[in-house]
């Protein structure tokens, strides 16, 4: 199947493109390369460098593809707090243009890259899909608005769709990993510290967690890619809706730093800083629904193995 992959030159989108190729699909990447990388798109895959809102480019792509997997979005929480108008304009506005194109040209299947940021801060237990959504930052707000838009629009368009709520994507493939500029994710930042490229700042040690630092559910990017393939297959069976993608297990910031030190054999230079605005204390997924609907469960849940894959990529990217 030919699949339009918006944002396919990014971290998670690039991993999906590789998984789709391996499964025998034909991905077509649409990416403006504002945060993605041209060389993240595998050789031989069609890359259309354009903004999602360029209808003269978007519409012919939609007309010749059998499904859309939508990754394209701004995704830096602190930036969303500093400039929420831009985040809503780019994320929700771009999504509305995409849906308008789908209305006119098809296709009838769409997988949307959502986020656990829609939940906010819900206390100690894992989040279930039916839990209240109370985003604590504008980035999460844009993702929730996009989910709600899709839920209202899909029936009117005859569109079968999934919104997949990622928890914390991490890890790397042998030829593909994180390359954000600036980097804001904990694992690559800690690995840069292990390489002597930075001092890592620990933002907040007074959260209501066992060791005082934030807890997140780290899911390997390859597992996320495979979940999208499973979602496309489930759409063919008439399934759809909202699903969490995670491992079901949380790790604190301190636990991640300890894993990085184990994997790299290096001590990390760490500075202490205040809490960052918009950071929930805990984000951990309840994952039974994804297993029931998609037949999917994270196959790479071990934190040290996730870190090790990212370490190999970081050394390849930066040397050391």
Other C-beta atoms within 10 Å of 279: how many?
17
How far is 167 from 158, CA to CA, in rounded Å?
Answer: 29
> In sequence order, what are the residues at sequence separation of 6 or more whose Cβ sits closer than 8 angstroms to the Cβ of residue 183?
189, 192
> What is each CA distance from 285 to 131, 135, 251, 304, in whole angstroms?
11, 15, 12, 19
Q: Which residues of 126-148 are buried (b: 16+ CB within 10 A; e: fewer)?
A: bbebeeebebbbbbbbbbbbbbe
What values do phi and psi take at 292, rounded to 5?
Answer: -70, -40
Let me know if 88 is a catalytic residue: no
Out of 139, 166, 207, 218, the active site residue is 139
3-state secondary structure of 79: helix
Closest C-alpha among 215, 208, 190 to residue 310: 190
How far is 21 from 9, CA to CA, in rounded Å?
Answer: 14
Catalytic residues, by residue number, are 139
């Amino acid at each position: 199947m030919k699949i339009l992959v918006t944002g396919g030159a990014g971290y998670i989108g690039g991993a999906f493109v590789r998984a789709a190729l391996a499964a025998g699909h034909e991905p077509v990447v649409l990416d403006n390369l504002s945060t993605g990388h041209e060389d993240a798109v595998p050789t031989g895959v069609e890359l259309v460098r354009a903004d999602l809102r360029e209808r003269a480019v978007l519409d012919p792509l939609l007309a010749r593809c059998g499904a859309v997997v939508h990754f394209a979005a701004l995704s830096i929480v602190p930036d969303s707090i500093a400039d929420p108008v831009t985040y809503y304009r780019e994320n929700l506005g771009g999504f509305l243009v995409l849906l308008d194109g789908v209305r006119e040209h098809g296709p009838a299947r769409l997988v949307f890259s959502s986020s656990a940021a829609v939940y906010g801060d819900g206390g100690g237990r894992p989040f279930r899909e039916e839990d209240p959504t109370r985003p604590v930052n504008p980035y999460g707000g844009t993702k929730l608005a996009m989910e709600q838009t899709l839920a209202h629009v899909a029936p009117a368009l005859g569109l079968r769709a999934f919104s997949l709520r990622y928890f914390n994507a991490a890890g790397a493939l042998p030829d593909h990993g994180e390359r954000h500029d600036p980097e804001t994710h904990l694992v690559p930042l800690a690995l840069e510290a292990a390489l002597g490229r930075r001092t890592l700042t620990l933002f907040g040690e007074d959260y209501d967690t066992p060791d005082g630092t934030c807890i997140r559910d780290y899911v390997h990017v390859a597992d996320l890619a495979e979940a999208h393939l499973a979602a496309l297959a489930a759409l063919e069976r008439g399934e759809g809706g909202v699903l969490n993608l995670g491992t079901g297990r949380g790790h604190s910031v301190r636990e991640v730093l300890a894993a990085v030190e184990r994997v790299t054999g290096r001590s990390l230079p760490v500075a202490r800083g205040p809490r960052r605005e918009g950071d929930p204390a805990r984000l951990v997924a309840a994952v039974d629904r994804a297993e029931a609907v998609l037949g999917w469960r994270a196959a790479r849940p071990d934190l040290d193995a996730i870190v090790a894959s990212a370490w190999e990529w970081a050394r390849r990217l930066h040397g050391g």
